[in-house]
Structures are given as C-alpha cells and as structure tokens.
Structure 1
C-alpha cells in the first residue's frame, strides 16, 4: 500500500487564506471599507495578524486579492466566452448586452461589490487604481471587436457603454439607499428592474442598427 502523504500544513495554510479572504468581505459588510485594518480582518478570521504578511505580504495585497475575486468586470475578463465570431467583429451586440445585463443582476445582489464601488468613487487608492486598469483591459478587448462591426458608423460605443455602466451603478446604489423612485421607476420591484433591462437592450439595438 502506498504511504499516505501528510498534507496538514498545506491544508492549514489554505484554510487560513480562505478565512482571511472571507473576513475581508465580512468587514466590508459590517464596517465598510474604512474598517479594512489588519486587526479587524484577523479578528474576524480568528487567526493571527502575522498570517496576513506571511500569505499576502500586506493588508493591501490581501484586500486587492479579495476585490479582484469579487469585481464583476475583472472576473468577466477571465471567464467571458468570446467566440471566434466575436473576434472577427460579428455578433458583438449580443456579447455586450450579456455583459451589461449580468452586471446589473450581479451588482443588484452583491452588497460587498456595492461597498467596493462606493470606496472606489470616494477615495483614490492604489488598490482601486489597479482594479480599474484591469477593467479597462477587458474593455479594450471588447472595443477592438466592436470597432470591426461598427466600422464607418456614426456611433460612439465607448461613450454609450460608459453611460450604461455608470447608470447601472448609480441606479442600483440609489435603490439600496433611498426609498424614492428614480425617474418614476422602482428597481427594487421585478417590473422596475425589467424596464431597465429592456432599456439596455433597446439602446444597444439603436446603436447597432444606426446607419452610416
């Protein structure tokens, strides 16, 4: 019989890493981004503060690792299935529509991500600077494909996309912090959220059908 290899230290390290990452999310939910200190994170994880330096190098590296795992656009850059058809500049409307609708759903249900975006727009930090750069890399890949499909058409898809992404962020944040409607729409209700989904589809339809 083959001798069983002891993996206790490896397993303990992995458990500690996962505890630290999970505790970042808990601290964000309970204390906001201002509470992301080594003491708070370690206490929430139930481990020694020195493990943060041992496994991540610093609190900033730990937080950046967590944010990258939760950020919708960073995650999409590694998981989005871009077909050969998209790469050739065909059917990019469907790809963009899927990304935006999924962003709406993801941001609407993810409290940690909402806190992260609030952090991003309220403070300039190296962590969020790096995250923003990774998002832009995904955007560049997509726009390289859409440029082929929309060549010679009088549309600025970058500006349209910027307004749609920003609008999704703002409307969701507004719905979570205020009891008031926005343009007489309540996206806390399924029918209100569907109206926004339909509007995203309609805007992209107008963009792609606009003649030169």
Structure 2
C-alpha cells in the first residue's frame, strides 16, 4: 500500500512539473494574441510590430519569435483564429449554406444587414477592411478569399433564380456591399455625413437600411439597379 501511494505521489509531481510549463506557455501565447487584437483595434495594421506587441503584452520581444517563429506567423495565427462576425450572423450563414436552397430577398437583406452592423460596430472589422484596401498583405488576403468563397457558394445556390434575365445579382450585391463598407468607414473615420446622411445616427442608419431593402426587393421583382 505504501509503495502504491508513493508511485501515485511521484506521478502527481511529474504531472505538475509538465503541466506548469505547458500552462505557462499557453498563457503567454494567449496574452500575445490578445495584445495583437488590442493594438489592431486601436490603431489598425500600422500599430502592429514586434516591439509594440511585446510592450502591450509585457514580455520580452524574443518571446514572440520563440512562440510563433516570426512576426508574419503571429499575424497569421491571430487572423486565422479571429472571427469578425457575431454569433447570429454566423448562424445565419451556416443555415443558408446547409439548407442549400435559393436565397430569397429576405435572406439577401439579412446578409447585407449583418455586413452593415459589422462595419458600423466592430472596430476590428473596420480595421481589417481598411487594411484590405490600403496595402497588399497575404494575411488579410486570406480573410478576403474566405469571404469570397462563402459568397460564391451562396450565389451558386441562387443563380438559377436569375437565369434568362438581365439582372446580374453578384454585380448588384458587389455595389451594395462596397457602398456599405465605404459608408461605414467614412462615418467612423471622418465622422461626417455622406450625401447628407449621417449613419452615426439612428435616422441615418434606418434610411440606408430601407434603401438596401428596397433595392433587393426590386431585384427580385425583376428590376435592374
């Protein structure tokens, strides 16, 4: 019995010795990734460098290379794990893809409304879109490619609905989404109006949302933009 108790104590000590460094490493990696998010949210991609991230995390800059190998790999890890969408929007997209049916006007509006909310209220998403159009980067390109892949699948589910018509749904939505992104960035960066509309106000947001809904309804009624 004494021998069995002794073996159990030894195993417990070994487990503690092993768990300690592992937990410490995971904690440090998490702290580094959180620091990337904080700086990116506050300053965008221009605020991201090894020195700034290490300072935010309160660690030696060499730790970043120790845990991630390189600065680029750190960014790939962060943005590869980052989810810019809220749970409701993710559930919406997952359901639309899993149902594998043509999208109706309400589905399209829900997708655009989710994009509109993200560009207005998600600081990191605003920064990501700004980075995407400001500088060529393999890191941010991957996010764009993933977004395009999802969009392509959704369009394929709906393309038969507009066959033999003069309506180009992808092109029409591209104009609307680009407009949403620009309006959002313009409002949040400059804080000014666009075409007399201030989307930082409830009234301004409602006007844009109503216009989006009307355009989509007209497309489904067979009217081109």
1:164 to 158, 176, 193: 176
2:152 is the counterpart of 1:140: yes
SS in 2 for 1:183: coil
Deviation string 1:44-84 (CA, Å, 9 cap, x unpaired) is 112233333343332222223333414449xx679722347
TM-score normalized by the length of structure 2: 0.79
Task: Using structure 1 for the length normalisation, give the TM-score.
Answer: 0.84
2:21 is matched with which residue? 9
- Counterpart in the other structure of 1:200: 212
Indicate yes or no: 2:77 matched with 1:65. yes
Query: Unpaired segments of 5 or more residues in structure 1?
Result: none
- Distance in 2 (alpha carbons) for counterparts of 1:35 and 1:20: 14
Alignment match of 2:100 (pick from 87, 92, 108): 87
- In the alignment, which of 27, 48, 51 is matched to residue 63 of structure 2? 51
Larger relative contact order (CA 8 Å, sep ≥ 6): 1
Between stretches 64-73 and 162-171, larger displacement belongs to 64-73
The Cα of 1:23 is off from its aligned counterpart by 0.8
More helix by share: 2
How far did residue 97 of structure 1 move?
A: 1.8
**1:154-197 CA distance string (max 9 Å, x none):** 21111111111111111011112334321111111111111111
1:191/1:41 Cα in 2 relative to 1: closer, same or farther (>3 Å)?
same
Structure whose alpha-carbon radius of gyration is higher:
2
Matched, 1:155 2:183: no
SS of 1:210's equivalent in the other structure is coil
SS in 2 for 1:81: helix
The counterpart of 1:190, out of the listed 202, 211, 219, is: 202
Q: Distance in 1 between matches of 2:209 and 2:99?
A: 22
Unaligned runs of 5+ in 2: none
